Structure 1
Amino acid sequence: MTQLQDRRTTRALRRPHWAWIIATVSFITLIGAAGFRAVPSVLIDPLHEEFGWSRATIGLAVSINLVLFGLFSPFAAALMDRVGMRRVVVAALLLVAAGAGLTVFMTASWQLLLCWGVLVGLGTGSMAMTFVATVTSRWFVRHRGLVSGILTAAGATGQLIFLPLVAALATEHGWRTPAVVVALAALAVVPLVLVFLRDHPADVGTTAYGATGDEPAPAPVTGSSAARALRTLRDAARTPTFWLLAGGFAICGMSTNGLVGTHFVTAAHDHGMPHTTAASLLALVGIFDVGGTILSGWLTDRIDPRLLLGGYYTLRGLSLLILPALFAPETQPSMWVFIVFYGLDWIATVPPTVALCRERFGVSGPVVFGWVFASHQLGAALAAFGAGAIRDTLGDYGLAWYLAGGLCVLAALMSVSIPGRREPETSR
């Protein structure tokens, strides 16, 4: 009998913990949903040429996407507590697929705003970074920072996979082909989510990875998910930590998704660089971001997250201030240095921000992070539209780069000013 128990124990030890299965499925899911992030930067010029829409109009569609991406995020986190991660994620993937796929039929700019802006914005906002925060909070005690970094890097990995593909397909076959490919990629992940994704460790008879004792699944959340999200915002907004995190993360969104992610390819093309070359450079940002974000997660487990954020924002600001001088028809060594340097810092801010939300706001941390992430997307939306307007008005993007660089230095100061003491938890 003892030998049989020993053999069962040995087999159990050899099997991977369920938390790692959940993390793997989550990583693949985030890659599948990340395809759309590669679309706007590559398709701005093709849409402008075919329909005559201004870059500000196309940027407005991206802005609506980013606003909904952010504002719906905390509600999605609360909804995951109510109906489960699996249902929310499946619905999100279907919305992304619909928003990307329906663009092939559009003939007017309002349809672009509906597809790119509303449908994809709600879909991506339903999972995004709050999904990362929810997975790590429920399934991991040990290595939370590292896993946050790995899952956050999934977005960059998706960018790495899709950007060169989208650019090549748009060049060879027109912009409609990559839109269909992105829609199919989102749909392809749905069966994986349905089969493997689970809401809590107790659902499969285990505990969170690194937990010291039996931890039953939390009691089902009752009441309105929207009311809980708003109540959490009300309580968090009473603390200086929330506003400093939200303000810094808004600038983070401006200087990444909103500006570089949306306008880098067009800005490089303004200086004579082919779209495919510029898209490949942006994809390389994704390569280095994978390593930088995972390293940031590892560092978050060991170093004060406030100091990490201060360093990340300072370095990013300096890199953006010198970027206008680096654009040229061909890729110079100085541009390669920027791509490596900026890539390592692209979204390295996420793991320490998630850690601070969890640290300071306890059980409500994922929902609080949803609101902080909403500020990130509002900043990104402002930059996506504003940089397009600057380009239309002044004829180049120079002012946009300088403004973003200066704001990053401000974000660094805000981050190191976050109080060191633990603040009261928000309501559950």
Structure 2
Amino acid sequence: MASTSSLRFPGEPEDASAPWSIAAAAFAANFVTFGILFSFGVFLTPIADDLDTTTGPVAALFSTAVCTYYAGGAIGGRIGDRYGARLLVGVAAVAMSAGLLLTAWSNALWQTYAAFGVLVGLATGFCYPSMIGLIGRSFSERRRPAAMGFLLAGVGAGTLVMPLASHALISRLGWRQTYAVLAAVALLAIGWAATRGDRVSLPTAGLVRVTRLVRSRRFLLFFAAVVAIGPGFYAPVAFYNDYAVDRGVAPALAAALIGISGATSVAARLACGALGHRADPMWLCRAAFAAMTAALAIWWISDGNPAMLIASAVAHGVGWAVWVTATPSVLAGWYGVANLGGVIGIHYTGLGVGALAGPAVCGFIIDASGFGPAIGLVTVTSLAALGLLMLPMREAAVTGSP
């Protein structure tokens, strides 16, 4: 693993706090990128009403952004492993800000697909896996789980704060002006994260070929499980708010549900990071899939009961947190820290496939038949994902050069 000093300009004095300043910048970047992306549920109805359309076509906009995020992550993660995160995260700052501004100025649904669906998605994809790879290179094996937990807590914190803030801003300014405000926030926060990226080019020795990954049984099993969990993972993000309002829940609580999931995930990510070096990360992933499946089952039978919806959001947040915190440790153990950004970017394209089939399909099912059949469908697919993840994943480590 590269030492802390390898992340400095030649001749720059060593700074023992440098790794944690990098983690703080990564926290901020995740807070903003995922906070904006996962706030989409509170924008869904205002956008649909403004553009004179229905839930299905606008929900598919979120699916497009998520799929673009994972496609960008597959490319960006490998670029970050080869050349460092600085330039890539700088591009993400500009793309996120431009995408939000163009979305705010759009007058037709196709324009929002090009702006939010492509640019916001790519910005998230360029930022997330490259920052994970950067953290992996910046911390020792023992301290890495805690640093990963802190970095990923930014996702949960953003998911807690940004939907509530966006809901308040939309009420005062409208959805267009709210996206313009968020564009400025994104440029500042992600731009700062870019300044903390790798300051020298990184060696490419030991990078795993993609063809080696796709021939790995355990990689393919894990990938398939992620594809299957995707619809159930993203359905609450897209539809908790509208479902709760449809069932007569107070709008403030409806908007807060995904925030509750985010708040729960912050605590769970930090706890998982602190304990991560003591637990088998694959068994943590299995427990996480079980929690997310339980969250969907509770949502399905809740019939709008506020206590049950809160319980569903809490279970979703715990499962989400444990899963994303444990996954980098699984993949680093299998393929090494030098490959972490690229491998995790490729791995999460499976979640992008699931996300495309999730909110988009669910949106049209909701338009045709209501929420019940849509939630039931993603509960079943999540149960299938848990079954895949329970299969044995023993395999010799994959190594190789680019």
Contact 2:44–2:58 (CA<8 Å) still a contact in 1?
yes
Unaligned residue ranges in structure 1 (runs of 5+): 1-13, 204-216, 223-227
Contact 2:240–2:257 (CA<8 Å) still a contact in 1?
no
Cα shift readout 1:98-121 (whole Å, capped 9, x = no counterpart): 111112211111101101111111
1:342 aligns with one of 316, 319, 322: 316
2:379 aligns with one of 390, 400, 405: 405
1:106 match: secondary structure: coil
> In the TM superposition, what is the alpha-carbon distance from 1:190 to its structure 2 partner?
4.5
How is 1:95-106 mapped onto 2 (pairs within 5 angstroms)? 95-106=95-106
Name the CA distance, whole Å, in 1 between partners of 2:171 and 2:38. Answer: 14
> In the TM superposition, what is the alpha-carbon distance from 1:418 to its structure 2 partner?
4.0
Is 1:199 aligned with 2:217?
A: no
> In the TM superposition, what is the alpha-carbon distance from 1:57 to its structure 2 partner?
1.1
Name the CA distance, whole Å, in 1 between partners of 2:392 and 2:346. Answer: 17
Paired residue for 2:335?
Answer: 361
Is 1:384 aligned with 2:380?
A: no
The amino acid across from 1:56 in the alignment is G
> In the TM superposition, what is the alpha-carbon distance from 1:51 to its structure 2 partner?
1.6
Scaled by the length of structure 2, the TM-score of the pair is: 0.89
Is 1:283 aligned with 2:259?
A: yes
1:374 aligns with one of 328, 349, 369: 349
> In the TM superposition, what is the alpha-carbon distance from 1:248 to its structure 2 partner?
1.8
Cα shift readout 1:200-243 (whole Å, capped 9, x = no counterpart): 6xx6xxxxxxxxxxxxx843x59xxxxx99x7321101011111
Paired residue for 1:333?
Answer: 307
> In the TM superposition, what is the alpha-carbon distance from 1:124 to its structure 2 partner?
0.9
> In the TM superposition, what is the alpha-carbon distance from 1:427 to its structure 2 partner?
3.3
1:234 aligns with one of 211, 221, 225: 211
The amino acid across from 1:351 in the alignment is T
How is 1:130-169 mapped onto 2 (pairs within 5 angstroms)? 130-169=130-169
For the structure 1 residues 64 and 334, does the alpha-carbon distance in structure 2 shift closer, same or farther, using more than 3 Å as the test?
Answer: closer
Cα shift readout 1:11-42 (whole Å, capped 9, x = no counterpart): xxx96432111111111122122332244201
For the structure 1 residues 309 and 38, does the alpha-carbon distance in structure 2 shift closer, same or farther, using more than 3 Å as the test?
Answer: closer
> In the TM superposition, what is the alpha-carbon distance from 1:87 to its structure 2 partner?
0.9
Name the CA distance, whole Å, in 2 between partners of 1:103 and 1:24. Answer: 29
> In the TM superposition, what is the alpha-carbon distance from 1:371 to its structure 2 partner?
0.8
> In the TM superposition, what is the alpha-carbon distance from 1:130 to its structure 2 partner?
4.4
Name the CA distance, whole Å, in 2 between partners of 1:299 and 1:141. Answer: 13
For the structure 1 residues 245 and 137, does the alpha-carbon distance in structure 2 shift closer, same or farther, using more than 3 Å as the test?
Answer: farther
Name the CA distance, whole Å, in 1 between partners of 2:210 and 2:373. Answer: 34
> In the TM superposition, what is the alpha-carbon distance from 1:165 to its structure 2 partner?
1.0
For the structure 1 residues 426 and 411, does the alpha-carbon distance in structure 2 shift closer, same or farther, using more than 3 Å as the test?
Answer: farther
RMSD: 2.4
> In the TM superposition, what is the alpha-carbon distance from 1:177 to its structure 2 partner?
2.2
Paired residue for 1:109?
Answer: 109
Name the CA distance, whole Å, in 2 between partners of 1:290 and 1:266. Answer: 24
How is 1:309-324 mapped onto 2 (pairs within 5 angstroms)? 309-324=285-300
Q: Percent of counterpart pairs with the same letter?
A: 22
Is 1:183 aligned with 2:183?
A: yes
> In the TM superposition, what is the alpha-carbon distance from 1:123 to its structure 2 partner?
0.9
Contact 1:357–1:366 (CA<8 Å) still a contact in 2?
no
> In the TM superposition, what is the alpha-carbon distance from 1:311 to its structure 2 partner?
1.6
Contact 1:35–1:158 (CA<8 Å) still a contact in 2?
yes
> In the TM superposition, what is the alpha-carbon distance from 1:125 to its structure 2 partner?
0.9
The amino acid across from 2:220 in the alignment is W
For the structure 1 residues 218 and 52, does the alpha-carbon distance in structure 2 shift closer, same or farther, using more than 3 Å as the test?
Answer: closer
Name the CA distance, whole Å, in 2 between partners of 1:397 and 1:82. Answer: 45
For the structure 1 residues 304 and 326, does the alpha-carbon distance in structure 2 shift closer, same or farther, using more than 3 Å as the test?
Answer: same
For the structure 1 residues 325 and 416, does the alpha-carbon distance in structure 2 shift closer, same or farther, using more than 3 Å as the test?
Answer: closer
Name the CA distance, whole Å, in 2 between partners of 1:163 and 1:402. Answer: 25
Contact 2:92–2:190 (CA<8 Å) still a contact in 1?
no
The amino acid across from 1:37 in the alignment is L
Name the CA distance, whole Å, in 2 between partners of 1:407 and 1:414. Answer: 11
For the structure 1 residues 16 and 137, does the alpha-carbon distance in structure 2 shift closer, same or farther, using more than 3 Å as the test?
Answer: closer
Paired residue for 1:10?
Answer: none
> In the TM superposition, what is the alpha-carbon distance from 1:134 to its structure 2 partner?
3.5
Paired residue for 2:70?
Answer: 70
The amino acid across from 2:321 in the alignment is I
Contact 1:148–1:297 (CA<8 Å) still a contact in 2?
yes
Structure with higher Rg: it is 1
For the structure 1 residues 298 and 406, does the alpha-carbon distance in structure 2 shift closer, same or farther, using more than 3 Å as the test?
Answer: farther
Contact 2:149–2:272 (CA<8 Å) still a contact in 1?
yes
Contact 1:160–1:284 (CA<8 Å) still a contact in 2?
yes
Name the CA distance, whole Å, in 2 between partners of 1:401 and 1:272. Answer: 18
Aligned residues: 388
2:397 match: secondary structure: coil
Report the more deviating stretch, 416-425 or 241-250: 416-425
Name the CA distance, whole Å, in 2 between partners of 1:366 and 1:218. Answer: 13
